[in-house]
């Protein structure tokens, strides 16, 4: 039975092949000849009108140049919007960290990190003797609203570095032109090299550095992450360019970014503790008019596990309530605002 089926298949193939060569091939050949004749006739007509040929060439060249210039302008504008966010090199501000409430452990860790950098800059021979190799960058992680951006900016102020800040979503959003996100990354690092010592701060790094699924190697975020990793691998942190990245979701970051040799130093910026919450509430109250009945210990208990941004919002809401009635902020205002935001 199998032999008969195979034989029938072979016979059917032979019959179809014969029909194809007898009826379809001549039709295809005729069609090709017609197209060739039309093209030849067109060229013959054009050869009779050289001015028309020159006009067509000029128009085609003009269109090409216009598209090229527009593409370049979009690329430069997009890249320029990134570079324009640079804060110049600052005079070292020894009180930069003091203005940040709490974060004692984070401050100690970042000082240990930059001590190597400062040693290299002040005593390059000593650094060379010990073959110092600091991490290429820091990763700040923790719940939102606790000042990761302020902490990164304080690092730049404390050590006197230029500061370039960019959100991950800004690198990948906008212009649909091919290659623009990669060009933004290149221009970002190029700008940092001309302003060294310089810190590049990537806020919301998780928007461009999530774990790659492997389903599509051409997704915008994967392409952008590859470009970022290439830049990280291509620079020496001891030459004045450093990376600080921030995320609320360290668990979804691609391991390739946070492995040793890249952003290997991870510092937690967590919610404030009991004493830090009291200090933050007092700092946000500042010189605002308040009554003497404020129980800061109770307020700290009521806001356990809350972020610094939450505390600020509560104080502002209480202040608005007092302002509307032209009176001082009292305990009831603060307690109610905490209840409303909770």
Q: Are residues 169 and 151 in the same domain?
A: yes
206 burial via Cβ count (<10 Å: 0-12, 13-18, 19+): buried
Within its chain, how far is the Cα of 104 from the centroid?
27
The H or E element that residue 246 is part of is strand 241-247
317 and 221 in one domain? no
Same domain, yes or no: 118 and 162 = yes
Looking at the structure, do residues 89 and 214 belong to the same domain, yes or no?
Answer: yes
If asked whether residues 254 and 314 sit together in one domain, one would say no
DSSP-derived 3-state class of residue 203 = strand
Tally of domains in the chain: 3
pTM above 0.75, yes or no: no
Regarding whether 178 and 101 lie in a shared domain, the answer is yes
Q: Look at residues 265, 285, 307 and tell me which one is the last residue of a structural domain.
A: 265
Residues 193 and 331 in one domain: no
Distances, alpha carbon 328 to alpha carbons 227, 280, 298, 331, in Å:
54, 19, 19, 10
3 state DSSP class of 168: helix
Please, what are the averages of pLDDT over each run of 10 residues along the chain (342 residues)?
A: 57 65 61 65 58 57 54 43 55 84 88 78 79 81 93 90 87 65 84 87 89 68 83 72 91 90 89 94 93 93 94 95 93 93 82
Angstrom distance (rounded) from CA 234 to CA 83? 19
Residues 34 and 52 in one domain: yes
Rounded to 5 degrees, what angle do the CA atoms 312, 137, 216 make? 95
Q: What is the per-residue pLDDT for 1?
A: 53
Domain boundary among 265, 287, 319: 265
Give me the domain span that covers residue 295: 274-341
Same domain membership, residue 90 and residue 71: no
- Residue where one domain finishes, among candidates 49, 76, 103: 76
Question: What number of other Cβ atoms are within 10 A of residue 268's Cβ?
Answer: 15
CB atoms within 10 A of CB 81: 14
pLDDT score recorded for residue 314: 95
Same domain (yes/no): 198, 70: no
For residues 105 and 227, state if they share a domain.
yes
Q: What is the CATH number of the domain that holds 285?
A: 1.10.8.60
- Clarify whether residues 114 and 211 are in a common domain: yes
Give the total residue count for the chain. Answer: 342
Residue 332, token pair as written in the block? 């009831």
- Residues 6 or more apart in contact with residue 205 via CB below 8 angstroms: 139, 168, 245, 246, 247, 253, 257
């Amino acid at each position: 039975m199998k032999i008969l089926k195979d034989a029938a298949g072979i016979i059917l193939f032979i019959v179809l092949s014969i029909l194809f060569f007898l009826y379809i091939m001549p039709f295809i050949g005729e069609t090709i000849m017609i197209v060739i004749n039309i093209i030849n006739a067109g060229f013959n007509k054009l050869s009779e009108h050289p001015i028309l040929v020159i006009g067509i060439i000029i128009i085609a060249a003009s269109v090409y140049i216009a598209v090229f210039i527009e593409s370049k302008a979009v690329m430069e504008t997009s890249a320029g919007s990134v570079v324009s966010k640079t804060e110049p090199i600052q005079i070292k501000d020894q009180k930069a960290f003091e203005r940040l409430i709490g974060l004692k452990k984070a401050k100690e860790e970042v000082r240990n990190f930059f001590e190597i950098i400062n040693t290299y800059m002040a005593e390059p021979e000593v650094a060379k003797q010990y073959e110092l190799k600091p991490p290429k960058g820091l990763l700040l992680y923790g719940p939102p609203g606790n000042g990761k951006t302020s902490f990164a900016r304080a690092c730049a102020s404390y050590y006197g570095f230029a500061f370039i800040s960019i959100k991950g979503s800004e690198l990948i959003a906008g212009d649909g032109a091919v290659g623009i996100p990669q060009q933004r990354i290149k221009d970002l690092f190029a700008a940092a090299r001309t302003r060294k010592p310089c810190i590049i701060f990537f806020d919301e790094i998780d928007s461009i550095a999530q774990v790659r699924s492997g389903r599509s190697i051409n997704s915008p975020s994967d392409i952008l992450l590859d470009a970022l990793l290439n830049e990280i691998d291509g620079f020496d942190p001891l030459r004045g360019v450093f990376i600080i990245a921030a995320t609320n979701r360290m668990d979804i970051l691609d391991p390739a970014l946070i492995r040793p040799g890249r952003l290997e130093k991870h510092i937690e910026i967590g919610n404030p503790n009991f004493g830090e919450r009291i200090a933050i509430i007092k700092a946000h109250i500042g010189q605002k008019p308040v009554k003497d009945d404020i129980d800061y210990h109770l307020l700290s208990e009521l806001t356990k596990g809350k972020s610094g941004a939450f505390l600020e919002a509560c104080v502002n809401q209480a202040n608005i309530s007092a302002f509307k009635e032209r009176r001082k902020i009292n305990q009831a205002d603060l307690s109610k605002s905490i209840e409303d935001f909770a």
